[in-house]
Amino acid sequence: MEIDAEPLPEGELPGIGTRLSSVPALFGDRVVIVGDRERRSSWRLTPQTSETRTPCVEEFVAWLGGTEPRSERLRCERVDDVVAWVCSPDEAFALWKRIEAVAEEELVRALGRDKQSLVNASFWLSRASVAERSMYLAAAGLSRAGSPHVEALLRAGLRNRTEEERRRGAEEAAAVLEKHSGTKNASPPGPVCTSFRDRMRKRSLVRAA
């Protein structure tokens, strides 16, 4: 948890922001913001691996699929069209891994649909990505849909990779999607590149202010 030097003003927030109610928090906690798409997919956010099988995440996912506006015990609340959850970095990572897995499944399903569905699924996966694999798959999905944003997505999401590394990763991901494009009820694609945990902590989460 980070504390700003100045309190936030009352009324309208400057820029773009979401005002949350008072929530108990610890230094280092994260505020995870999930949107309507994740809420509507809450029933699919079942644990995929032992790494994501976390009791607090189980409870949050169950709460996410309900209608309760706020949970003091879980430290989460519904605010307009989003849900905010104050949690530890490990809990945030476990939740994001679940969302990433569902987004990958959605990308595979979108391969047989119209181009806009593929674009939407690709961008969702790019936002949910906690692994290089997922970012490359998202870019491959955009490429198959004829989107002009492929290079921009790769540069923004994989800044620590060289142009040649990004090119190779994109080619591998394109081959994976090609393999799945003609398969009905295909399983999520397997690994393309090595996952690394710190990317989500730096990029995918909103730090509490």
Q: What is the pLDDT of residue 202?
A: 40
Does any domain span residue 9? no
- Judge if 145 and 105 occupy the same domain: yes
- Judge if 79 and 91 occupy the same domain: yes
- Judge if 122 and 75 occupy the same domain: no
- Judge if 120 and 85 occupy the same domain: no
- Judge if 67 and 118 occupy the same domain: no
pLDDT tens, residue by residue, 1-56: 444 556 656 666 555 555 666 666 677 888 898 988 888 888 888 765 555 567 88
Does any domain span residue 167? yes
Does any domain span residue 36? yes
- Judge if 93 and 110 occupy the same domain: no
Q: What is the pLDDT of residue 3?
A: 47
The mean per-residue pLDDT over the stretch 116-141 comes to 94
- Judge if 111 and 55 occupy the same domain: no
- Judge if 138 and 161 occupy the same domain: yes
- Judge if 106 and 174 occupy the same domain: yes
Please give the structure tokens belonging to residue 125.
């996966």
- Judge if 106 and 65 occupy the same domain: no
Nearest of 96, 107, 119, 121 to residue 176 by alpha carbon:
107
Residue type for position 5: A
Tally Cβ neighbours within 10 Å of residue 204: 20
Does any domain span residue 17? no
Examine the pLDDT at 131 and tell me if it is beyond 50.
Answer: yes
Q: Which residues of 110-142 are buried (b: 16+ CB within 10 A; e: fewer)?
A: bbeeeeebbbbbbbbbbbbbbbbbbbbbbbbbb
Number of domains in the chain: 2
Does any domain span residue 191? no
**Cα separations in angstroms, 13 against 9, 18, 20, 80:** 7, 8, 11, 15
**What pTM, to 2 d.p., does this model score?**
0.74
Does any domain span residue 186? no
The parent domain of residue 133 ranges over 101-181
Examine the pLDDT at 66 and tell me if it is beyond 50.
Answer: yes
Please give the structure tokens belonging to residue 194.
């090595």
Does any domain span residue 88? yes
pLDDT tens, residue by residue, 155-206: 999 988 999 999 999 999 999 999 988 654 444 555 444 333 344 334 434 4
Does any domain span residue 55? yes
